[in-house]
Amino acid sequence: MSAQLLFAALVAGSLYALVALGLNLVYGTLRLLNIAHGDLVMIGAYVSFWMLSLFGLPPVLSIFVAAALCGGFGWVIYVGMFRKLLATPALAQRLEANSLILFYGVSVILQNCVALAFTSTARGYQYLNEVHKFAGIAASGNRLMLFGVALALCLGMLLFLRFHLFGWSLRAVIERRDAAAVVGVDVDRVQMVTICIGFAIAGVAGVLVSMTEQITPFMGFPFTIAAFVVIVLGGLGNIFAGIVAGFALGFIETFGVALTSATYRSILIYGLFVGVLLLRPQGLFGKAIKIR
């Protein structure tokens, strides 16, 4: 029984880690609070649904379509809205607070456009739902895939940040934008690529979610909240700690609900959020965990 619970916690945790990773990258490099992040997850979910229904394209391939679509949306948002604002120091300072409202607008527009286009009827599909039994666990194929893809993307991003020159320049921008420019980093390009990557990751997470959950235009908000809880837990802009915190939230939620009942789920998550903000605003790990 506890092995089953452990698996459930890992699956939930990997998803939270992935969704929060995209948000954290965008916050860290651009200082934008993307309250529409969960809606990109929703877009990814619809991409997966329609690709399968219309073209018979399986989710494992829709991942690329969703990544391209959401990443492209990130590019449009950056070039159309934020490039100019970020390049002007006076505007950039106010932008962090204003971004919340800007993205709230984006969120409402996305939700309503999708609702208009596809109605708010809940959708769903069956994919890889055969159950595999091993090591005392009964695991559906789609959950195994969700876990595998989410974990691979999180680890891949960590390796990229650890070993690749572009990864270092990304970390340099997160730590000190002016110093990054001083050494010759093209900060504008790093920001553009990062928003594309962050948005693409959310789209991929949406594809993964859609395999196991119902799809509606308004499914995104809980993911936005979960992602914010995770990056507050880990410390804003701290990528590695954010991934650890994603798994931590998966465990807290899964085991917390198992010990109490499903009605406590929201109380747990919001309680954690408020508790951490009050007691450890620098994040659970503070400065203790950093990627080298």
**Residue 84 contacts another protein per CB under 8 A:** no
Comparison of 56 and 89: residue with beta carbon closer to another protein: 89
Least distance in Å: CB of 85 to another protein? 16
- φ, ψ dihedrals at 98, nearest 5°: -65, -25
Separation between Cα atoms, residue 292 and residue 288, nearest integer Å: 12
Binding mask 253-292 for another protein (x = CB under 8 A): -------------------------------------xxx
**Residue 172 contacts another protein per CB under 8 A:** yes
Least distance in Å: CB of 225 to another protein? 28
**DSSP state, residue 33:** -
**DSSP state, residue 215:** B
**Residue 241 contacts another protein per CB under 8 A:** no
Comparison of 132 and 176: residue with beta carbon closer to another protein: 176
Binding mask 180-199 for another protein (x = CB under 8 A): -xxxxxxxx-----------
H or E element: which one contains 2? helix 2-30
Please report the sign of the dihedral spanned by the C-alpha atoms of residue 10, residue 46, residue 189, residue 33.
Answer: negative
DSSP secondary structure, 85-97, as one string: HHHSHHHHHHHHH
Structure tokens at 178: 């002016």
Instruction: Pick from 50, 75, 168, 218 the residue near another protein by CB under 8 A.
Output: 168
Q: Which CB contacts under 8 angstroms, 24+ apart, belong to 262-268?
A: none
Q: Residue 135: exposed, middle, or buried by beta-carbon count in 10 A (0-12, 13-18, 19+)?
A: exposed
Say how many Å lie between the first and final Cα of the chain, rounded.
Answer: 37
Contacts of 212 (CB under 8 A, 6+ apart): 140, 142, 143, 146
Q: How many residues in the shown chain lie near another protein by CB under 8 A?
A: 21
- Block residue for tokens 């666990």: 137
Binding mask 127-166 for another protein (x = CB under 8 A): --------------------------------------x-
Least distance in Å: CB of 287 to another protein? 9
Instruction: Pick from 101, 179, 274, 277 the residue near another protein by CB under 8 A.
Output: 179
**Residue 169 contacts another protein per CB under 8 A:** yes
Contacts of 256 (CB under 8 A, 6+ apart): 264, 265, 268
Comparison of 193 and 272: residue with beta carbon closer to another protein: 193
Comparison of 91 and 155: residue with beta carbon closer to another protein: 91
Comparison of 1 and 183: residue with beta carbon closer to another protein: 183
Instruction: Pick from 54, 90, 135, 259 the residue near another protein by CB under 8 A.
Output: 90
**DSSP state, residue 290:** -
**Residue 176 contacts another protein per CB under 8 A:** yes
Comparison of 166 and 218: residue with beta carbon closer to another protein: 166
Asked if residues 204 and 248 have their Cβ atoms less than 8 Å apart, the reply is: no
Residue numbers at the binding site for another protein (CB under 8 A): 90, 165, 168-169, 171-172, 175-176, 178-179, 181-188, 290-292
